[in-house]
Structure 1
Amino acid sequence: MNDKISCIITDDEPYARKGLQGYIEKISFLDLKGSCEDALQLNSLLEEEPVDLLFLDIQMPLFTGIEFLKTLRNPPKVIFTTAYAQYAIQGFELEVMDYLLKPISYERFFKAATKAKEYFALKARPDESTAYLFVKSNGKFEKIVFADILFIEGMENYVAIQLKDKRIVTHSTIKSLLEKLPARQFIQTHKSYVIGIDKIDRIEGNLLHIQKYQIPISKYLRKVVMTALIT
């Protein structure tokens, strides 16, 4: 990918399109390729010119943004721009990059755009899936590959690291171990749990499902967790 992120605005409200276009023109690393009124126009434009990023409204005539996104086999990354907060969970399930609630301030828009820039910059880097650390367990040092961690459970002065194929217990605390993990890959959901963000299969109420395991979301951390998962 070149230095700029190609993008398209889709919103049935003219003032919303104009506002987003004005924001994009102020950001040097965004390259606006088109502005659409609905999903049908967007589909035609994508057939002519694929882009990196969509600024996509949800409630539109004919197709909602969510319905349209589900039809795409290899969709671009998406930032939802909507007046409706209730679609946040569906946004997470569709792996959208961010979820902007109208009216959208320039500061909030710039933050979402910067997040997209960081994502594409990271994507262009060499594979980091083999990053690891060593922990002491049962008198020996075990290599823990970050990509293999499903979740971490705190147990007073010990933590249990649940991997894809085994469970390793080490003398540590949730706090000290979390400081060693990459922030974009892990998040604390409860005073006793840290999870691998990309390992979540689904969310039901205050429970995260990771394979056969159910991980609680603390009511005090729920807002932070849901925001992080969506973004």
Structure 2
Amino acid sequence: MIISCVAIDDEPLALDLVCKFIEQTSFLKLEGKFTSAVEALAFINANDIQLVLMDIQMPDLSGMELARVLDGKKDKADTRIIFATAYNQFAIEGYKVDALDYLLKPYSYEEFLKAVTKAYNYFERIDRPKIQSNTVEETQTDYIFLKVEYQLVKVKLDDITHVEAYKDYVKVHLASRPNPLLSLTSLKSMEELLPSDQFMRVHRSFIISLAHIDSVSKNEINIGQNSIHVGENYKSAFLEFMSRWMS
């Protein structure tokens, strides 16, 4: 899936940065870049644009005002917004217009990728009912993208058995391959990225896939050949899950 997007920012350096991030992200296609929200609005209304990445404070028409105009003119499912601004006081107001995410300048590519991955997952979910298939094919369409070395790797959620903290990286263990993927991110970022109904953090160094649990003994979770200890701070949440699982 490729997401069509535009970038809007009245600061040329900020606009260049977000365009650079868009162009190095495999599932995004930059359709236009604008320093004026008024010009961007005309372009969005005339084209099939799914994602708008924009600043909030701009002359003539602010990002928040543009968001309200789009909300009134287009189906919410058609065009979604990610805000990028240097002022964190706009965060609450940003969520009032149902923004997908809110990036605080200056932001890194990792933070950008995390935000646009939310957009990818959103558009894939709403497109799923439209896909009809008469053959017995793979129907799982839930993915995340991981930065592995110098590329983005698409990883199926149901292939992930567990995630392990490793220095400044995480090791993402997969059922389909013997060696884990090593990604430059934090376990906290992975916890926020992975859906909570499928994954659970059970230790300061581990997140597990609930579907891949083979057995549980005392405070140990067994996934394949791996035994993962349940940390003290995570016991109550895990025991609650176990009580629902066994009922």
Partner of 1:104: 107
Larger proportion of helix: 2
Structure 1 residue aligned with 2:12? 14
Q: Distance in 1 between matches of 2:32 and 2:50?
A: 12
Match of 2:240 in 1: none
- Does the alignment pair 1:78 with 2:86? no
2-structure distance, mates of 1:90, 1:12: 20
Structure 2 equivalent of residue 32 of structure 1: 30
Shift of 1:183: 3.7
Give the Å deviation of 1:47.
2.7
How does the TM-score come out when normalised to structure 1? 0.53
2:63 is matched with which residue: 65, 72, 76? 65
Measured in 2, the distance between the counterparts of 1:52 and 1:88 equals: 21
**Partner of residue 46, structure 2:** 48
The CA distance in 2 between the partners of 1:81 and 1:26, in whole Å, is 18
Cα deviation per residue 1:4-33 (whole Å; 9 max; x = unaligned)?
000000000000111011111111100000
Q: Partner residue of 1:195?
A: none
* Equivalent residue in structure 2 for 1:116, among 115, 119, 124: 119
Q: CA deviation at 1:46?
A: 1.2
Q: Displaced runs of 4+ in structure 1, greater than 2 A? A: none
Q: Distance in 1 between matches of 2:65 and 2:13?
A: 23
CA offsets 1:85-132 (integer angstroms, 9 cap, x no match): 1111111111100000000111100111111111111112249xxxxx
Contiguous gaps of at least 5 residues in structure 2: 131-194, 198-247
Deviation per CA, 1:156-179: give whole Å up to 9, x if none: xxxxxxxxxxxxxxxxxxxxxxxx
**Residue type of the alignment partner of 1:13:** E
Q: Which has the higher contact order (CA 8 A, sep 6+)?
A: 1
Distance in 2, Cα, partners of 1:34 & 1:12: 14
Equivalent residues, number: 128
SS at match of 2:107: coil
Report the AA paired with residue 47 of structure 1: N
Return the alpha-carbon distance in structure 1 between the equivalents of residues 115 and 41 of structure 2.
Answer: 23
- Report the aligned-residue RMSD: 1.7
2: CA distance, partners of 1:64 / 1:99: 15
Letter matched to residue 111 of structure 1: K
Normalized against structure 2, the TM-score is what? 0.49
